[in-house]
Amino acid sequence: MIQDYLFPTSVEEALKILVKDPEKSKVIGGGTSFYIDGKELAKDISYFIDLGQIKELGEIYEEDGFIVMGANTTLTQCSKNPLIKENYPALVKASANLGSTQIRNMATVVGNIVNGKPFSDLATVLMALDAVFTIEDQDGSRETKVKDMYHKLGISALKATELVTKIKIPKRVQGEGSAFQRLEIREGLSFPVINVAAKLVVDKNIIKDAVVTASPLAPGPKVIEAIGEFLIGKEATDDNFVEAGLLATKSIKFHTSPLNCGAIAGVTCKFENCHYCLNPVPSTAQYRHEVLPVLVKRCLSLALEEIND
Amino acid sequence: MSLKKISFFLNGEAKDVYANPGDMLVDVIRDKLGLLGTKVGCKTGGCGACTVMLDGLAVNSCMIPVGKVAGKSVVTIEGVAENNELHPIQEAMMEDGAVQCGYCTPGIIVSAKALFDENPNPDSEDIHRALEGNICRCTGYIKVEEAIVKAASNIRKEG
Ligand SMILES: Cc1cc2nc3c(=O)[nH]c(=O)nc-3n(C[C@H](O)[C@H](O)[C@H](O)COP(=O)(O)OP(=O)(O)OC[C@H]3O[C@@H](n4cnc5c(N)ncnc54)[C@H](O)[C@@H]3O)c2cc1C
Ligand code: FES
Ligand code: FES
């Protein structure tokens, strides 16, 4: 039963409250993921610690070659921010399309990663963009990449006494473009069947860097290493992008997400490695493998267009 | 049951409610404050029947613990008409027959109002996006979209 709802006004104060009773406290960003965990939460949690009034977490700015986004940045703010728009077309696309307007007005970018869901649209993009998370506790701060944000399926690697305070993304370099593609059953209010994000750096039509990520894979998204290895040094042509897509499907393993285990209806899933929790859109591994090459090719072509624009 | 006093603005008026801060905003609005215009469809953020405005933005009141709204401004469907005059979107929805069973209607009107407040000149893409989170099982959305386009043009004429 919730005893108190607290609004610390600084990170320092939030950490101080959190450390008092970490097991009975719950940090709240937008709060949009509690519908899944709500029933369980109500039993075990005494304190909600809402970060919404910590001003220092509400800013987006440029610093030392990075764009820094405070932990309170909502998806709506992210998708409309001039610095984000200038630098990361993939991030704009993903944050402008998740859920619905109502969800995006509340949900934070950080919450989308810390809730540990393997289908996270934003984690897929942030991994491709090589984002760094700043995590603080009372002893100090550490930095970590998307791949180290996951402990296991559905559970983040964050300790109960830690807070994510910001996300730093390397600024777009000369010749860089990025893109995001999600396959969805309908536009709006649907979880992704699969997500693909790409970052491409090209100089005189020769590929200098190519990072392609995909989800849902457990526990978080993955970089499809084979694509980078194949594309770097080659020409940015449709043929090479098609080839990259075919390579992709050989080098990662999707799961089938068949039956409703109850996780979406407010019941916590009791299965280990439940493939429904991997992605609440029922779909087969085979189908995902068959569409992956198409999405990879599209993503790379779109990223290339973003450069030439 | 641990109750706390939570103060916020509801449809422009200061309100104090005694509630558990973990209770969902929609339950407090309906059960404690007696405003039944805001509907509950799914309680999982997936239908938009519970849409209200929080500090001017459309949100799902079924996903917001009431503790979160302390000090903020909440506008429900009951606060959309001002000075006894219907909002142009309300007029247009009635005139165009954009309401059938009506269950989704309060949520749709609040979403449309949030859109107009931000952008009085929405194009069809803006309208689709603003209504993405509002499910209607009856109308097929065409009349709803027509009503919003008409309301936008009426607002521009008035403004
Ligand atoms: C109808 C609907 C559709 C959705 N569709 C999609 C979709 O298509 N794709 C997708 O990826 N997601 C989807 N989501 C999930 C949703 O977008 C995410 O839950 C959201 O981004 C989480 O952000 P939040 O700020 O609301 O997090 P919260 O719910 O506030 O928090 C999530 C978790 O992170 C922790 N946390 C939050 N901020 C911090 C911080 N700064 N430091 C430490 N811990 C923190 C919280 O304690 C909690 O455990 C959907 C949700 C709904 C309701
Ligand atoms: S009741 Fe809130 S979105 Fe359905
Ligand atoms: S009018 Fe019946 S649900 Fe929309």
> Does residue A42 or residue B139 have the better pLDDT?
B139
Do residues B32 and B57 both lie within one domain? yes
Q: Which of B47, B79, B111 is the last residue before a domain boundary?
A: B79
Q: What is the pLDDT of residues B69-94, one digit of tens each?
A: 999 999 999 999 988 899 999 999 99
Separation of first and last alpha carbons in chain A: 54
Residue A264 scores a pLDDT above 80: no
Count Cβ atoms within 10 A of the Cβ of residue A67 and give its class: 0-12 exposed, 13-18 middle, 19 or more buried: buried
Do residues B69 and B104 both lie within one domain? no
The pLDDT mean for chain B works out to 95
User: For A88, which DSSP code?
Assistant: -
Pick from B63, B129, B130: CB nearest A34: B63
pLDDT at A25: 94
Q: Is the CB of B45 under 6 A from ligand 2?
A: yes
Q: Which of B16, B45, B79 is the last residue before a domain boundary?
A: B79
pLDDT at A261: 61
A18, A25 contact by CB (below 8 A): yes
Q: What is the pLDDT of residues A134-171, one digit of tens each?
A: 999 999 999 999 999 999 877 899 999 999 999 999 99
Round to whole Å and give the CA distance between A65 and A276. 40
3-state secondary structure (DSSP) of residue A271: coil
Q: Which of B79, B106, B127 is the last residue before a domain boundary?
A: B79
B116, B148 contact by CB (below 8 A): no
Do residues B45 and B102 both lie within one domain? no
User: For A255, which DSSP code?
Assistant: -
Q: What is the pLDDT of residues A19-63, one digit of tens each?
A: 999 999 999 999 998 764 455 556 788 999 999 999 999 999 999
Round to whole Å and give the CA distance between A4 and B19. 11
Helices B142-158/B88-95 angle, 10° precision: 140
Distance from CA of B85 to the nearest CA of A (A): 26
A68, A97 contact by CB (below 8 A): no
Do residues B72 and B133 both lie within one domain? no
Residue A127 scores a pLDDT above 70: yes
| DSSP-derived secondary structure for B111-126 | HHHHHHHH-SS--HHH
- CATH for B23: 3.10.20.30
Number of domains in chain B: 2
Do residues B66 and B94 both lie within one domain? no
Q: Where are the alpha helices (DSSP H) in B7-141?
A: 25-27, 88-95, 105-118, 124-131
Do residues B96 and B149 both lie within one domain? yes
CA B7 to each of CA A8, B10, B37, B72, B80: distance values in angstroms, whole numbers, following the listed order: 17, 9, 21, 8, 21
Identity of residue A133: F
Q: ipTM greater than 0.95, yes or no?
A: yes
CA A283 to each of CA A118, A290, B144: distance values in angstroms, whole numbers, following the listed order: 15, 12, 32
Tokens of B29: 């609005």
Q: What is the pLDDT of residues A60-109, one digit of tens each?
A: 999 999 999 999 999 999 999 999 999 999 999 999 999 999 999 999 99
> Does residue B155 or residue A168 have the better pLDDT?
A168
Q: How many CB atoms lie within 10 A of CB A198?
A: 33
Residue A280 scores a pLDDT above 70: no
Do residues B75 and B10 both lie within one domain? yes
**Whole-prediction pTM:** 0.95
Show the domain range for B150.
88-158
Number of helical (H) and strand (E) elements in chain A, helices listed first: 12, 14
Separation of CA B102 and ligand 3 centre (Å) = 5
Q: Which residues of A touch B133 (CB under 8 A)?
A: 99-103, 188-189
Residues 6+ apart with CB under 8 A from B154: B88, B91, B92
B28–chain A Cβ distance below 8 A for any pair:
no
Q: Is the CB of B75 under 6 A from ligand 3?
A: no
Do residues B95 and B53 both lie within one domain? no
Round to whole Å and give the CA distance between A117 and A262. 15
Do residues B8 and B64 both lie within one domain? yes
Do residues B92 and B75 both lie within one domain? no
In the structure, what pLDDT confidence band is assigned to residue A219 with cuts at 50, 70 and 90?
A: confident
Separation of CA A246 and ligand 1 centre (Å) = 33
Do residues B9 and B75 both lie within one domain? yes
Length of chain A: 309
Do residues B13 and B65 both lie within one domain? yes
Separation of CA A208 and ligand 3 centre (Å) = 53
Q: CB A48 to CB B22 under 8 A?
A: yes
- CATH for B143: 1.10.150.120
Q: Which helix (H) or strand (E) holds A206?
A: strand A206-215
